[in-house]
Structure 1
Amino acid sequence: MFKSLFGSLLTQASCQEGAGYLKRADSEKLHEIFLKYATVEKNGEKHITSEDFVRKYLGLFSEDDFNKESVQLIAGIVDMDKDGYISFSEFQAFEGLLCVPDALYKTAFQLFDTNGNGLVAFDEFAEVMRKTALHKKLPFNMESTFVRLYFGKDKKRLVTYPEFSQFLHDFHEEYGVEAFKKCDKEGTGFITAGDFRNIMMSVKSHLLTKDLKSKVITASGFPQGERKISFPYYMAFNSLLNNMELIKRVYLNATNGHRTQEVTKEEFLHSAQMMSQITPLEVDILFNLCDILHHTNGRIVYNDLNSITPEQYFKQVTRRVAEIKAVSSPEERGVLIQILESTYRFTLGSVAGAVGASAVYPIDLVKTRMQNQRTGSFIGEVAYRNSWDCFKKVIRHEGVFGLYRGLVPQLIGVAPEKAIKLTVNDLVRDKFMDKKGNISLYAEIIAGACAGGSQVVFTNPLEIVKIRLQVAGEIAGGTKVKAWSVVKDLGLFGLYKGAKACLLRDVPFSAIYFPAYAHVKAKFADENGYNHPLTLLAAGAIAGIPAASLVTPADVIKTRLQVVARSGQTTYNGVIDATRKIYAEEGARAFWKGAIARVFRSSPQFGVTLVTYEILQRLFYVDFGGSRPTGSELHVATPIEESIKKPHHIGGYQVALPVLTGLETKFGISLPRFSYPKPAQQ
């Protein structure tokens, strides 16, 4: 009775502590969920059986030939009085335990605390370990000095939770040492490559990525080849795998946060000695592994580390994140799939472009009217003193809707324009990207220039119609101009009037914008490479400032070529003619008319467009088997986000699966799923 009460109090304390970390559902909703699985009544109260809790509620061990001992051990984490039934108070207490930051260690502690007294005895530890898959592969010496140091010489000492957490942390390292000793029967300090492979694939398999298993361990690709592996190398190898997150931080420290900067072994060592206790041997192994996997030739980048880094335990909750399928080349995919992918990108680009254009259209109208305003000739009084004056006069004389003259054709045309620009930039970047995912600055500029050039086929007709509609409101008492009448008057070739100036504007704009956006966005990303929508918006807006301002002269020339000159206004016969006449009549400053309005329009427009484009790709991402468009990084789902797919997992139970999975991926403690060995596949 005392043991059960003590253990219950321990877990209830965890519940109270956990309440501050995750927003728990109220008790009524939790109780409602509990009753859906509670099929047994005991002492007038509903209970969930151990089997129902593990197999039906958690969704584990769903096979018909499940291992009953494993199910009982997992259920024992929740079942504090160990009677095979889970009461609502136990159910609620475990929900609180899952909320605490050290939930993984506390869950492991309760797995080994089989009698529920809040302490772990040696017999309890040994009983659970002997039932694990790891122990059956390679039995651990329960009489070792390591065990006696923790549980006492006579192994009668009871270990508290804080002490057990340290024991569990050290235990798996000791397991590796024991495995080495068993293979090194003569005590030479060396084991064969085959023994090394067997240990890594059994005792240390949770530290191995897919690439490490296939290209290094099973292929005997480690530097020693088929020769013997020394104990120092063995320990350094395992220490390196255990500390890959620290290794990443060392790399970022050496590059000041840049992920594509190459780092030599000497530079990495210098950074390592400044911030950690990583040994030179571990660094040697790191660079050797990177060279084996990626042919780095002594220089590594951040992406090289990902194929060595084992996923954190919470990422193992879903196979989809842990086992992202290899990207196939476009040639391997059917024509229909490629068409669907193009349609998908086109649709997202269209929506993003429409959102961005609508958000800043009034500024665009002011910019156009300012650029079309002539000075230095006999055309009469200047209509607008500045952009703000223009904005006020439009509202005064034409109403608020006057700020949106020409918006409809803009929205119709902006869909293919933005879609082709974003798609071409992604396509060309993919072509220039190397196997490590790196791209040079000149390649980024070329990709942006290609994107800008490709859009002109849509941009020029769109803008000439839009501009003529925007300036139409300046003519007092003039007839109302409609988009379709402008198109008929211009004809097919007339829609491309000023196309050269449009190219002179759009090619350098995109050549500046897209590389700037990519680098600013990378600078704003967190250490996992993820950008919050606000940082995406900021990156898009910042990149738009130099791009929009520096191409203003070309935009002025394009505007002058595309508007209909009124009586008394100068006419132009091309880019060169327009350049000469504008300079002669109005001076060099005329080329920068509307520059401020252009920056205030283009900068936020592209910020809104790009953040919309990337968020849409995150929300509605469809895997067509091709490469992901640039910037559409899928936010790695947290345990909470993944477990939302289980509607009955609320509050702390949102992290139940990753925490239980973490017992294996963090500590290597794997409970057998089946009651009998499955037949080997031929």
Structure 2
Amino acid sequence: MGRTPGDMSAPTGVADKLWFKYMLSCGAATCAELVTYPLDLTKTRLQIQGEAAEKKPAPSGRPPLYRGFLRTAGGVVREEGVLRLWQGVTPAIYRHLIYSGVRMNGYEWLRDRVSRPGQPLPVWQAALAGLAAGGLGQLLASPADLVKVQMQTEGRRRLLGLQPRVKNAAHAFRQIVRRGGVRALWKGCVPNVQRSALVNLGDLTTYDSVKARLVRGTALGDGPVTHFLASVASGLVSATLGTPADVVKTRVMNQPTDSRGRGTLYRNSVDCFVRLVREEGLLAMYKGFVPCWMRMAPWSLTFWFTYENLRRVCGTGTF
């Protein structure tokens, strides 16, 4: 077992340097993203069903094709090909090179300076640290997330008979800047940051708190079973807290823009939330919850298992 959180007197080497742990967190996040990305794409396709842009009849005369998680995923494979389940994975990985590195190391840095040596961080302090680290990480990584969402919806647009907007990640970045300037890269930033803050409130706080109490209160120790239980709990709490904000974020980021880079469907995240509830019902806030949870659970499991073992192999103290 590595250093106890909050033990600032333990000797440190390269393996305990911030930049090294940053690299480990990015590597673990990339692994988790590649494994679970098809679930993220399916979730996004579910969330955009019902928005104004899709209520117009397609030129082919066909109604919207997907309803439900399995039918949506199956439809993507059947109509677009298996590889389309990973459409947009490149900017998703770019995002994690910033987002996961900042959120993980920001949280750990805050925790180690606030917690008492040998004692778990109080839940309310862990929650604040998770909110702050997750919000900052997403603020910095928001442009990559915007490109990812737009690329995820391209196959759906083609099936509806709409003109494709982007060809690849680089083209998407250029198109966004050309139409609305650099500032447009942060379209949907507010709901994005809100969503990530809530997700990290659930993920980091739950994992850290559950793990600490299992290590200290049971005979499981700091091993795979503890990591598994803590990651499953964190995935469920993250999905419950983050899905409503995730739906709003997806709608705002996916909407078309005018010549000045302003959204044509929603004025802001509040307007999107109000219209979504009024036009589609309160349960619309949990569209894509099942794939969201089904993704967050294996994502958390893959990430935490990979991250903890990378730290162990490299001689870094456990999280």
TM-score by length of 1: 0.41
Q: Which of 383, 407, 411 is the matching residue for 2:65? A: 383
Q: Quick one: distance in 1 between partners of 2:74 and 2:112?
A: 46
Shift of 1:605: 0.7
- SS of equivalent to 1:434: coil
Deviation of 1:458 (Å)? 3.5
Tell me the CA shift for residue 412 of structure 1. 2.3
Aligned-partner Cα distance in 1 for 2:227–2:122: 21
Deviation of 1:473 after TM superposition, in Å, equals 0.5
Distance 1:612 1:427 in 2: 20
**Counterpart pick for 1:430 among 95, 112, 137:** 112
Contact 1:350/1:414 (8 A) holds in 2:
yes
Rounded Cα–Cα distance in structure 1 between residues aligned with 2:174 and 2:264: 24
Aligned ranges 1:505-524 → 2 under 5 Å: 505-524=195-214
Count matched residues.
295
Structural mapping, 1:260-659, within 5 Å: 327-328=8-9, 341-374=17-50, 378-380=55-57, 381-474=63-156, 475-476=158-159, 478-479=163-164, 481-491=167-177, 492-525=182-215, 527=218, 530-565=221-256, 571-622=265-316, 628=317, 631-632=318-319
Aligned-pair CA distance for 1:328: 3.7
Following superposition, the deviation at residue 459 of structure 1 comes to: 3.3
CA distance in 1, matches of 2:110, 2:289: 30
Aligned to 2:260: none
Q: Distance between the aligned counterparts of 2:256 and 2:71, measured in 1?
A: 22
Tell me the distance in 2 between the aligned counterparts of 1:435 and 1:522. Answer: 13
What letter matches 1:389 in structure 2? R
Does the 8 A contact of 1:373 with 1:383 survive in 2?
A: no
C-alpha deviations, 1:87-110, integer Å up to 9, x for none? xxxxxxxxxxxxxxxxxxxxxxxx
Deviation, structure 1 residue 607: 1.9
Q: Is the 8 A contact 2:111 2:129 kept in 1?
A: yes
For 2:267 and 2:168, how far apart are their aligned partners in 1?
Answer: 26
Looking at structure 2, the residues matched to 404 and 343 of structure 1 have their Cα atoms a distance apart, in angstroms, of 29
Q: CA deviation at 1:525?
A: 3.9
Deviation per residue, 1:126-163 (Å, 9 max, x gap): xxxxxxxxxxxxxxxxxxxxxxxxxxxxxxxxxxxxxx
C-alpha contact 2:102 2:133 (8 A) present in aligned 1 = yes
Alignment of 1:5-404 (within 5 A): 327-328=8-9, 341-374=17-50, 378-380=55-57, 381-404=63-86
Cα offset, 1:329, TM superposition? 8.4
Residues 593 and 438 (structure 1), Cα distance of their counterparts in 2 relative to 1, 3 Å cut: closer
User: What is aligned with 1:241?
Assistant: none
Amino acid of the structure 1 residue aligned with 2:244: P
- Give the 3 Å change call, closer, same or farther, for CA 431–327 of structure 1 in structure 2: closer
User: Distance between the aligned counterparts of 1:564 and 1:481, measured in 2?
Assistant: 17
Aligned-pair identity in percent equals 26
- What's the CA shift for 1:338? 8.4
- The question of whether the paired residues in 2 share the 8 Å contact of 1:549 and 1:598 is answered with no
Contact 1:522 1:529 in 2 (8 A): no
String of CA shifts for 1:548-599, please: whole Å, max 9, x gaps: 1222111111101101439xx9711111111122122212121111111111
Query: Greater helix percent: which structure?
Result: 2
Compared with structure 1, are the counterparts of its residues 426 and 384 closer, same or farther at alpha carbon in structure 2 (3 Å cutoff)? same
Q: Which amino acid aligns with 1:364?
A: D
What secondary structure is seen at the aligned counterpart in 1 of 2:276? helix
The answer to whether the 8 Å contact 1:510/1:547 transfers is yes
SS at match of 1:619: helix
Amino acid in the other structure paired with 2:188: G
Tell me, in whole angstroms, the C-alpha distance in 2 between the residues paired with 1:572 and 1:520: 39
Task: Give the counterpart letter for 1:406 in structure 2.
Answer: G
The answer on whether the counterparts of 1:452 and 1:510 sit within 8 Å (CA) in structure 2 is: yes
Structure 2 gap segments, 5+ residues each: 58-62, 258-262
Q: Distance in 1 between matches of 2:198 and 2:98?
A: 20
Deviation at 1:392, TM superposition (A): 0.5
Greater RCO, CA 8 A, separation 6+: 2
Following TM superposition, where does structure 1 have runs of at least 4 consecutive aligned residues deviating by more than 6 angstroms? 337-340
Give me the whole-angstrom Cα distance separating, in 1, the residues matched to 2:253 and 2:151: 11
Shift of 1:482: 1.1
Q: Is the 8 A contact 1:346 1:416 kept in 2?
A: no
Amino acid at match of 1:583: V
User: Alpha-carbon deviation of 1:327?
Assistant: 4.6
Q: Distance in 2 between matches of 1:534 and 1:595?
A: 26
CA contact (8 A) 1:545 1:603 kept: yes
